[in-house]
Chains A and B, each alone.
Chain A
């Protein structure tokens, strides 16, 4: 083994460490612990809501506009157009295992990185 071989081995060793470190950094940077609500329309994400900011959002459902209100880390469908208004009747939601489903509007709201309701479902399949 000559000095060129040794240099190559050192280069590969350093490269593997740099690659590993950069991937670790990328994973940590791209995944955060921030609580967000993901709004999907016909299984396509249309809005990502920061749950730490109190605000009202409007998304377009199949039967009309769906008004989503965020307040004190909780979320609800304020009003929508549907036959029975089930998702607005559901009220405030704050747990990751309790989604809001507006079926006539094809809107589903799921909270991510939040705590789980201990009295809710005992398992969640994602």
Chain B
């Protein structure tokens, strides 16, 4: 984490938040043939925030992203909102736990985040639909989290290498 002036820090986090909202909103239009599987591009910005700034900023960015994107899309407190929120809570918790160990690179953090995002969404789906059968989707989500997490983690690594803030 580098030292920034409060104004510079606020500006940078706001820009990262704006980009993560954009990614969050654009992502559903990306054609991925497997239902329920997404790349998780917004997670790139969360990881960058975590590494550039601190845990608090990343948590704030992730939650603000879900709330603002849901408000903009008009789905606040709808099923989609709770699915995103469940995913974000689970992925943020696991990312923070693994980050504290200081043993994982952004690729590892991203893969874990992606896997637990799926787990959080499945838990919310199980609660909404009142059936445990939704858990049948979990192996596919966990398996797909490896390539998707690897892609987003690699992008984060490359961005962090080139970023001069």
Listed in ascending order, the chain A residues whose CB lies under 8 Å from chain B are 1-2, 4-5, 8-9, 12-13, 15-17, 19-20, 23
Contact = CB atoms under 8 A, between A and B. Distances in A.
B12 interface: no
B146 A12 contact: yes
Main secondary structure of the interface of A (DSSP, over half): helix
B111 A5 contact: yes
Interface string B94-112: 0000100001110110011
A19 B150 CA distance: 21
Given A1-B105, A2-B103, A13-B143, A8 B111 contact: yes
B145 interface: yes
A2 B136 contact: no
20 contacts: A1-B105, A2-B104, A2-B108, A5-B107, A8-B104, A8-B111, A8-B112, A12-B111, A12-B146, A13-B143, A15-B142, A16-B138, A16-B140, A16-B142, A16-B143, A17-B143, A19-B138, A19-B139, A19-B142, A23-B136
Contacts of A8: 98, 104, 108, 111-112
B111 A4 contact: no
Main secondary structure of the interface of B (DSSP, over half): helix
A9 B111 contact: yes
A16 B139 CA distance: 4
B135 interface: yes
Contacts of A12: 111-112, 115, 142-143, 145-146
Q: Which 7 A-B pairs have the closest CB atoms?
A: A5-B108, A20-B139, A16-B142, A16-B143, A19-B139, A4-B103, A16-B139
A90 to B, nearest CB: 36
Contacts of B105: 1-2, 5
